[in-house]
Structures are given as structure tokens and as C-alpha cells.
Amino acid sequence: MAIRRGRGVAAINYPTGMNLGGDPTQALVHSTPTGNFMVTLSSVDLGQGMKQIMAQICAETIGVPTDRVVVDTADTDTGPHCMGTFASRGTHRAGNAVIQAAREARQVMLEVAAEELEVNASDLETDGQGHILVKGAPQKSISIFDVALAAHFKRGRSISGRGMFLIPRSYPEKETGAMKPSTCYAHACTVAEVEVDDETGEVTVLTVKNVFEIGRALNPKMVEQQLVGGSWMGISHALYETTEPYYPNRDHGGTDFNQYLMPGPGDLAQTEIIVLERPSADGPFGAKGPGEMCANPQIPAIANAVFDAVGVRIDTLPITPERILRALKAQASN
Amino acid sequence: MAKTPVQFTLNGAEKAEFIDSGATLLNALRDKIGDTSPKGGCHQGTCGACSVIIDGELRLSCLTLAETCNGAAITTTSGLSQGGVLHPLQRAFLDAFASQCGFCTPGMIMAAKVLLDRTPNPTRDEVVEALSGNICRCTGYEPIIQAVLTAARSNSQNAA
């Protein structure tokens, strides 16, 4: 009886979004009379930072500072349609819709500015700080504040835009069954080191080293916090969490936090995160979906590390002490 | 239902309320007084989201009867900032990205405050121990642990 060490590796591809009956998200953008911009969405911020990312995307597209953008996700009954915040789809789908809406709003904004400055709209550019300038003659300029006032009270224009992003449904080819379930994949690889007590079956995760390829990280600090949290959640799924420990039998499922186990702050593995950015072809500014996939590669990596440590393959999650001891017993009797 | 008069100080202000007999402090704070910073996560004392400080002790407001708090001094997270200036723990949580959905954050900050009030320069193990009654789903805990250690360092620099 001993504490045995093992190391496991796993790599995953993870699709961004889903492909049931098509995967659409819509967005609306409009300016207030004082030249702030409102993004209206039904995509929900769960704490992952969707509002911040959509504000950045809108601001970058229109050419204003991010703090000039307000994102409203208040009401899924009245807002533009979104399939929802799941399947790592929020940044990719809603972001593309916001770009399209913001482009249309920007075009109206430039048209109004052109009328005010008596130039062609195509000769105008934004400085990203809230001003519209004549290309090559930046002394001739107008603030976006004044453009919005003019649009509302003088020109009778609505500085607004409509955005729509749809991944159409993909049907399998009759001959081969081949289909295109997603247009965009994130990737990850994890190496996990564990100790397994072959007397008690208890697993301790020592280190988890993750590399995530997530397209362009639109907000690197927020990407990092999501990946660190996701890596912990992956460990939790691998070793602890289940609502049906004897699935498909429903008995003995945890009904509260006394019974539903998760690792606490005292059970953390030493965690490393490396981000690789390979911009996606159809993502907003090259982004992919890092959300859900970041909690996946730890699971097979830990299963492989357990195999490396004690020589048993556990193919049912979570990898509990009971399952390890039963497998060790079966192995010994063979 | 019978009502019971209860008086205590909340974040330094006198409060006097008639509350339902048997109501928890969590319900009294949120529904009667309107301080929604303590969160009702599990209502059975297992998640820590409802943590408040009663007479210097960390307490679960979901397991504390409001009527037992007569004369007590209660602190919640909403009482930490002074004149719009965030408490060092709040500042550190922001800077360390120690919050995502935010539901556990007030309880975490209460647990951390009691620790730092008693142990101004805690070790990592002491921080882990202090936070071990609080559940977080989003962060993986590490950013929270780092935030508490950072707040402790900034406190000791200010005191020096």
C-alpha cells in the first residue's frame, strides 16, 4: 500500500456554439442624444464579462472609447433575439452581431458628420477618442457629442444599426454522413500530475498545466480569470461532482452543498495557464469561445494520470475513491 | 404571525424593526432593512454567501435568528466603503479579478475581513482556512486568495 504518482496528458478541440436548427443572435445599436452608444441584446452576462466584451467590440467598431458604450441585456422578452449564453457562443455570435449593428450606426454617424462639416462621408475617420476628423486635414473635425446632437435635433436622423449573425443549420451529406457542426474551434491541452493512495483510493491533484488556444483574447485579464476558474472546475468534474453517482440510478444524488462535493480553497492544484492566440476567420476580431471548453481537458488528463499512477482505467465520472478501489480489486483478481 | 421588536446597529447606524418571530437575520436584513449585500445561497449554512460580522465574529445570517441580535453590532459588505472609497479588500478583489458572477463575493469579503482584523499579515494557509466555509463556483479560489493576501499587504503598508 503506497501513495503512487502519475502524470496524464489530454488535448481537445471544442466547437464554438451549436448546430441544432441554426444558431442566430441579433443586436441593435443606437446613440443617445449626447453621443453615447447603447447596445441592446438578449444575450445574458452570467459573470463571464459579456457586457464588457460587447462594449469593447461596439466601441472599437464605431471608433469611440469603451466607456461611451452601455450594454443592455435586461429583457429577453423585448430585446433582439439571441439563442442564449451557452456552448461558448456568446462572444462569437453576439460579437459578430454587434459588429454589424455598430458598422451601420457608424455609417449614419459619418453621414451626419459629413453634412455638418460639408464634406463627403467617405473622407472622414474617427480618432477613437470621440472625434470625427477629415482624413489628411485633422484640424477640420467635429465631436461625436455634437454629431449626435445634430442628428437628433437638426437633421432628424437616428444614429443606429441592426446586426444579425447566423450560423445556418448544417445537414449531414446523405452518402457520407459528413457535416459541419461548427465553423470555429478552440483547442486546449492539459498535463496533470496526481497522487493516488492505493489503500484509500483518494486522488490528490498536484499540478495542472494548461495551454488554451482561444483565438484573439479580446480582454486578456478576463480570459485569464475564466481559464483559471475553468481549470478548477475541470478538476471538480473529474474527481467530485455528480448529481447521479450511480447513474442511471438516481439514488444517492447530492441534494445540497453538504452532499454535492466540490473542491474548496484548501484543495487547489498548482495551476498554470498559457494562452495561445490564433485568430479565427469568422470570429469578432478573431475571437473564439473559451468559456465552456476551458473546463474540459483536465478531465481526461486526470483520468490518464490515475491510470499512470495505479494502472486502472476509470471510464465513469467522477473518479471517486470507490471506483478506484473497485477497479484495483478487479485488477488484482485477474 | 407574531412580530418581535429588534434593535441593533447595522454598519454603525441604529436600526429598529418589527420582524416576524422566527425570521432569520438574512431575511431581516434583505427584506425589512433593504441591505441586499448578504446573499441567500443555500439557506442552510453550507455556502457562506450570507456571511456577516456580528460583534466581531463571522456569522451565517441564514442560520441566525434576527431576534437574537438585539443590541448587537452588525457589519455587512455594504458598510465597508467610506465616502465612496472602497475598503482595501474590495479594491483588492477588483484588482485581482477575484469575482465573476459576484454572488459569493460579499461572503468572501466578510470572511476575509474577520481574518485580517485578527491576523493582519496572514499566511496563505491562514487565508485558505478562513475562506474554507465559503463556496465559489467561478474563480477557482486562487484569485480570491491572492486578493486577500494583497489587501493584507496594502493594509500593513498603510499602517507602516
Distance CA A149, CA A21 (A): 43
A328 contacts chain B (CB < 8 A): no
Does the beta-carbon distance from A268 to B141 stay under 8 Å?
yes
Does the beta-carbon distance from B97 to A271 stay under 8 Å?
no
Q: What is the ipTM of this complex?
A: 0.90
Q: Are residues A56 and A163 in the same domain?
A: yes
Q: Are residues A118 and A204 in the same domain?
A: no
Report the pLDDT value the prediction gives residue B156, as an integer from 0 to 100.
77
Q: Are residues A158 and A31 in the same domain?
A: yes
Residue A173 domain-assigned (yes or no): no
Chain B closest-CA separation from residue A228 CA (Å): 6
**Of A125, A140, A167, which residue sits at a domain end?**
A167
A273 contacts chain B (CB < 8 A): no
CATH code of the domain containing A240: 3.30.365.10
Chain A closest-CA separation from residue B4 CA (Å): 31
Distance CA A42, CA A97 (A): 12
* A-chain residue closest to B130, CA distance: A265
A262 contacts chain B (CB < 8 A): yes
Distance CA A281, CA A284 (A): 9
Q: What is the mean pLDDT of residues B18-47?
A: 96
Q: Are residues A233 and A148 in the same domain?
A: no
Q: Are residues A114 and A209 in the same domain?
A: no
Q: Are residues A162 and A206 in the same domain?
A: no
**Of A167, A202, A236, which residue sits at a domain end?**
A167
Chain A closest-CA separation from residue B119 CA (Å): 18
Distance CA B142, CA A266 (A): 10
Residue A78 domain-assigned (yes or no): yes
Does the beta-carbon distance from A256 to B42 stay under 8 Å?
yes
Q: Are residues A114 and A215 in the same domain?
A: no
Q: Which domains are seen in chain B, by residue range? A: 3-78 (3.10.20.30), 88-159 (1.10.150.120)
The sheet carrying B3-10 orders its strands as B13-20, B3-10, B73-75, B51-54, B57-60
Cβ-based contacts of A221 with chain B (< 8 Å): 97
* A-chain residue closest to B146, CA distance: A265
Cell 453615447, located at residue: A36
Residue A307 domain-assigned (yes or no): yes
- Specify which residues B57 forms β-bridges with: B54
A318 contacts chain B (CB < 8 A): no
Residue A63 domain-assigned (yes or no): yes
State CA B1 to chain mean position distance. 29
Q: What is the mean pLDDT of residues B58-64?
A: 98
Cβ-based contacts of B142 with chain A (< 8 Å): 228, 232, 268, 271
Residue A256 domain-assigned (yes or no): yes
State CA A157 to chain mean position distance. 35
- pLDDT mean values, one per 10 residues, chain A (334 residues): 96 89 94 97 91 97 97 91 92 97 98 98 96 95 98 98 94 91 92 97 98 97 95 97 90 90 93 96 95 95 98 96 97 90
Q: Are residues A66 and A198 in the same domain?
A: no
Residue A172 domain-assigned (yes or no): no
Which value, to the nearest 10 degrees, does the dihedral of the CA atoms of residues A168, A171, A173, A177 take? Answer: 120
Cβ-based contacts of B45 with chain A (< 8 Å): none
Q: Are residues A206 and A288 in the same domain?
A: yes
Catalytic residue among A60, A104, A193, A292: A292
* Average pLDDT over chain B, rounded to an integer: 95
Nearest CA among A304, A235, A239 for reference residue A270: A235
The answer, yes or no, to whether residue B69 has pLDDT greater than 70, is: yes
Cβ-based neighbour number of residue A328 at 10 Å:
17
Question: Diameter of chain A by CA atoms?
Answer: 89
Cβ-based contacts of B137 with chain A (< 8 Å): 233
A10 three-class SS: strand
**Of A167, A196, A228, which residue sits at a domain end?**
A167
Q: What is the mean pLDDT of residues B14-20?
A: 95
Q: Are residues A217 and A163 in the same domain?
A: no
> Per-residue pLDDT tens for B89-140?
999 999 999 999 999 999 999 999 999 999 999 999 999 999 999 999 999 9
Q: Are residues A205 and A125 in the same domain?
A: no
Report the pLDDT value the prediction gives residue B27, as an integer from 0 to 100.
97
Does the beta-carbon distance from A225 to B142 stay under 8 Å?
no
Does the beta-carbon distance from B46 to A258 stay under 8 Å?
yes
Does the beta-carbon distance from A256 to B46 stay under 8 Å?
yes
How many structural domains are present in chain A?
A: 2
Residue A310 sits in which domain range? 3-16+183-333
- A12's CB contacts (< 8 A; 6+ apart) are A187, A188, A189, A293, A296, A297, A300
Residue A149 domain-assigned (yes or no): yes
Is A292 a catalytic site residue?
Answer: yes
Instruction: List, as ranges, residues 219-248 from A with C-beta within 8 Å of B.
Output: 221-222, 224-226, 228-233
Does the beta-carbon distance from B139 to A256 stay under 8 Å?
no
Q: Are residues A202 and A88 in the same domain?
A: no
Task: For chains A and B, count residue pairs whose Cβ atoms are closer than 8 Å.
Answer: 63
Report the pLDDT value the prediction gives residue A117, as an integer from 0 to 100.
97
Cβ-based contacts of A220 with chain B (< 8 Å): none
Cβ-based contacts of A257 with chain B (< 8 Å): 42, 44, 46-47, 135
Residue A175 domain-assigned (yes or no): no
The answer, yes or no, to whether residue B160 has pLDDT greater than 60, is: no
